[in-house]
Structure 1
């Protein structure tokens, strides 16, 4: 038992001095050797970041986040969203929910900061708020380091829970080896608490720079090969919950717009339609997260024209 990797993992996870990446790498080795693919997948997402088509664990989602506007004369001031909360709860939730799919190493760096980080809302969210609040300031979410520390604590706690569960099953190992009996017993151990909610928003930027940005990323979302085939694009849009009227409107724009050659030309030529769909996404009327809608729809149209994204 002195060389048990499971007991060693418990000891590492319970110590705040243990590097979080080292802890997760050790846990990943154990999970792979035991053949626990679901746990290994969770650990891999924590280490490398969550793809946009993977739902985030609840502990990586910040709800009811404050929104601040930057007044050049007064500095950061709160943006009142009470009327929005009363009028449209879904839109309110869209602009006050922050999802962190960053690698755990980046979360750890944020946690070391000694100041509040101001992360800009995605432009569709900011434009939506400017329109309804008549506030033309830069819109940001204030992120305090303690929120990042809380995420790290959840990760450590889940590793501890898993390691304790292995011990309760009599699974200890020796060195980094496990007996056939231990591997068989381990198959009864699953990790069902990591697939919750999320829209794939990512915090980007230097943690020492208060201009860090929170924005939707969809680069890992698999796009269908729809080059030049509107029927394929139409099927994809319907899968996202976009209705026939809006799809027909897009087709009219495609028919009337000169063929774009770059992503920038797509954004310019189809910006009005994409903006309209983004508002619907913010309101929950289509099956796309509001923050991710602009990039996802832009990429879909680019694929239609065979434009690299």
Structure 2
């Protein structure tokens, strides 16, 4: 089910915390006030973050630094941790916002040249365009509500069956982390996921009410998305460390980049869904044997309702479904309908509709066919 924007009151805040970059100009690792690092009148800066350069010019650096109370050894002692270790420190600190954590993770991913990790990170930062391929932690079970314009309350919705209720209560959250932060800092204990326009029309037609429908989710469920992202970044950084990928001095060696690729690819496929460029599309087929007699009257009802809702399907799927529905209609109107043919056609209809995840009409037809065949 494709969801629209989240709605709730509040204002977004972002805690950028403390970075782990050390400037080479005017920086004192002891925290005391320090004069400019330039001992002469001409402008000059030194980059304390490149040990190779320090090792080449050790005598000149020590001669320059000694009057200010520094040595090469204590400079190295105050250099940042390896980049992957810094990422772990940010992940376990509650003082670090998830946005800052994910941006730091992007720094690691880009430096390592990891397209799978970068794609996941970009989608978390910018939002997911394809709501049918969301990570599981972004699929929430809420409660479908209808807005009462007379008293301003969101009312409970009574569905004709439990399966349809489950379909209409599944919220797919594709918004960026930044756009959801305002909800978490607001006073409201819940938020509403808007249905797409086409889905609103279907629900209004079903309930014969010209009102607004939405899925109500709790703030705790949205916080769960942020916690899941934090945990994923931590687990990923631990996998990198186990593979010997650290990122000393804000850079990675060629060997580290080679070791990181298989580790990251496997990790994100297992934990964040299939990301990156996938040339072979995997198809999952649900095969089951069904016993019992079909109700022709129920078949009539299914065909009638499905045909009236075909406009809510993607055009290619609607064409396939329409052809199968016509076949079912013809067979069901025979003096003695062939139950085997009807079952085959109904199964084909369900297979077609299962091909599009997140579409309310497709989900409804799938549920109705499954109920009919069982």
- TM-score bucket of the superposed structures, by smaller chain: 0.5 to 0.7
Number of residue pairs matched by the alignment: 216
Larger deviation, residues 145-154 vs 133-142: 133-142
SS in 1 for 2:262: coil
Question: What is the TM-score when the length of structure 2 is the normalising length?
Answer: 0.51
Name the SS of the counterpart of 1:155 in structure 2.
Answer: helix
Instruction: Give the alignment partner of residue 23 of structure 1, picking from 94, 98, 101.
Output: 101
The aligned counterpart of 1:209 is none
Closer/same/farther in 2, CA of residues 125 and 165 from structure 1, 3 Å limit: same
C-alpha spacing 1:155/1:285, structure 2 compared with 1 (3 Å): closer
Alignment of 1:221-240 (within 5 A): 237-238=315-316, 240=317
> 2:35 aligns to what?
none
Q: What is the Cα deviation at residue 145 of structure 1?
A: 1.7
Matches within 5 A, 1:1-309: 3-52=81-130, 55-63=133-141, 65-71=142-148, 72-73=150-151, 75-81=153-159, 83-85=160-162, 89=163, 91-115=164-188, 116-190=190-264, 191-192=268-269, 193-195=271-273, 237-238=315-316, 240=317, 242-243=319-320, 245=322, 284=353, 287=356, 289-290=358-359
For 1:181, what is the secondary structure of its paired residue? helix
Residues 7 and 130 of structure 1, relative CA distance in 2, 3 Å threshold: same
* CA distance in 1 between partners of 2:211 and 2:274 (Å): 33
Distance in 1 separating the partners of 2:139 and 2:274 = 10
Question: What TM-score results when the alignment is normalised by the length of structure 1?
Answer: 0.60
SS at match of 1:22: helix
Q: Residue 146 of structure 1: SS of its match in structure 2? A: helix
Q: Which runs of 5+ in 2 are unaligned?
A: 1-78, 276-313, 324-348, 363-374
5+ residue gaps, structure 1, are 198-235, 247-279, 294-309
Q: Residues of 2 paired with 1:244 and 1:284: CA distance?
A: 8
